[in-house]
Amino acid sequence: MTAVDLRAARDDGAFGRDVAGSAGRAVIGLALRQVRRGAAIVVVLVAGMSALVAATYTGTVGDALDAAALAALAGNPAIRTLFGTPVALDQAGGFTVWRTGTVLGVLLGIWGLLAATRTMRGEEDAGRWDLLAAGRLPVAAIVIRHVAVLAAVPLVAGVAAAGALTAAGTPPHGALLHGAGLALLGVHFVAAGALAAQLFPTRGAASGAAMALLGAGLLARMLGDGVDALGWLRWLSPFGLVALVQPYAANRLLPLAVLAAVAAGLLGAALVATRHRDLRGGWFAAPAGRTPRLWLLGSLSGFAARRLAGPLLGWAVGIAGYALLIGVVAVSITSFLADNTRFADLAAGAGFGGLGSVEGYVATMYALLAIPIGAFVAVRIGALAADETGRRLALLYAQPVTRNRLLTAELAVTVAGAVLLALVAGLASWGGAARVGAPLGLGAALAGTVNVLPVALLSLGAAVLALGWLPRVVTLVGALPTAGGFLWQVLADSTGAPGWVGRLSPFAHLAPVPAQPPDGGAATAMLAVATALTLLGALGYRRRDLRG
């Protein structure tokens, strides 16, 4: 080879590296564009909630927590199961960690795993990665750049939380450890979502698997905190590892190291899985030559029911577990609050009143059921939008079937699923209460769980509205009335905001059933709003073009 040839080869190699570098920066920019709005909201919520609770600690708690009260709180297994082991509650930082740590961890975890499956499996499944993968960057390089962008969000949120707590006057070392725990928890679920996106061939399956992992981790933390003999389970749960750090008290570093190692392992597994699969494929893809399964494919409603069956079973198991726990700890919680009225007063100030009786306690806990049921209906409408984008409904749309008929079938089955989840929750909580001898009748339990359906159906209406007019953010918009409404109410109650601010949340209009009779007027108004949102969304869905 001549000198000219060698120089040309070197120039060509440099040109290739420049092109690859430019492509890598473009992929990073694409990932940033896809998540920037949701990321900003998450960071603001994490920092804002931490700052508000810490800043209002003196006014809401003050000197109410003496040594005897703290010992009683830490010794109650039901309190530890539901809210985690209380540590350093005599400090603003410790109280903030106990009060907000699990909530913010779940927020970061859900955002991380859903963002990962949406921007990776969802975009690849829709065919928008075809040109990316045809360029100089292999699929593994595309995945790692998306993961880097997504992982940066919980890292920023952790820094923001630490800064907020430090600015509120808490010790910096505790604030830094709490922020590091939140950051690593978010990174863990980003990596879990990325791995699920490589293993499963559809966005819905990947999101469901990652959500199941989150639920299992949360359950392991609850069991580990509530049952002394099962304390080792906390080392198997990302939420348990974050709790074991005990900021502002023990300040342990080992649990953070374990969590970082697990997150790195999940990310490594995701990269290995990426290199050993086809584009738009997954490790758990169904075999192409299997025997056709035609059950429930004779009608639109049957088709919708078949699509719902698997996810509904998973949601029912998770909600039944939560409801069973509500019933099992009912006597322990109410007895504890009856003997320690100061904690009942603190709970009432935070928006959780009426915990002194079994019916009042379960009514408060039942209100939280609106969040998972609302998430269920929002995710189901989001799955419809994803199937449309992924062209899985193309042959169905080619039939003499209007889009409104398809949407009506999906809505009917989804509403039936929501009702079934409420009934399952009622049965499970009644069974748990009966197991410990708590005075909770079956009719009262079912009335309390069904009472939350109007709030959950607001999420259905919001999701359909987004399906018609903002189809790229269906799940996010659908979660606003429930998850967003609950967070709004908690913040309003915790910060002493004017009454009208708190009443903007639908939870402010939810009667505490079975402690009190249902509020028929409020329920009717919420159902009317949900119906109006659904009709407006159906109008937009009928008028807009199909996505593909």
Nearest to 193 by CA among 205, 184, 181: 205
Cβ atoms of 203 and 119 within 8 Å: the answer is no
Structural tokens at position 75: 């010794």
E-strand stretches of 81-206:
none
pTM for the whole thing? Answer: 0.80
Cα–Cα distances in angstroms (integers) from residue 464 to residues 196, 455, 467, 532, in the given order: 27, 15, 5, 10
Say what angle helices 67-75 and 341-349 make with each other, to 10 degrees: 80
Angle subtended by helix axes 3-55 and 139-167, to nearest 10: 30
Note down pLDDT in tens along the chain; length 548 residues. Answer: 444 454 544 544 554 455 567 878 888 998 999 999 889 999 999 999 899 888 888 766 655 555 556 556 666 666 777 778 888 888 889 989 988 888 899 999 989 998 999 898 888 877 778 777 777 788 888 899 999 999 999 999 999 999 999 999 999 999 999 999 999 999 999 999 999 988 888 777 888 888 888 988 988 898 888 777 888 999 999 999 999 999 999 999 999 999 999 999 999 999 888 887 766 666 776 556 567 777 777 788 898 899 898 889 888 988 998 899 889 888 887 877 777 666 666 666 555 556 668 888 888 889 989 999 999 999 899 889 888 877 778 778 778 888 889 999 999 999 999 999 999 999 999 999 999 899 999 999 999 999 999 999 999 999 999 999 998 888 889 989 998 898 888 777 766 678 888 899 999 999 999 989 999 999 999 999 999 999 999 999 998 888 74
Cα–Cα distance list, 528 to 420, 421, 452, 507 (Å): 21, 22, 15, 16
- C-alpha to C-alpha distance for 67 and 85, rounded to whole angstroms: 15
Query: For the chain, how many residues are written?
Result: 548
Decide if 183 contacts 111 (C-beta within 8 A). no
Rounded-to-integer distance, Cα 256 and Cα 387, Å? 39
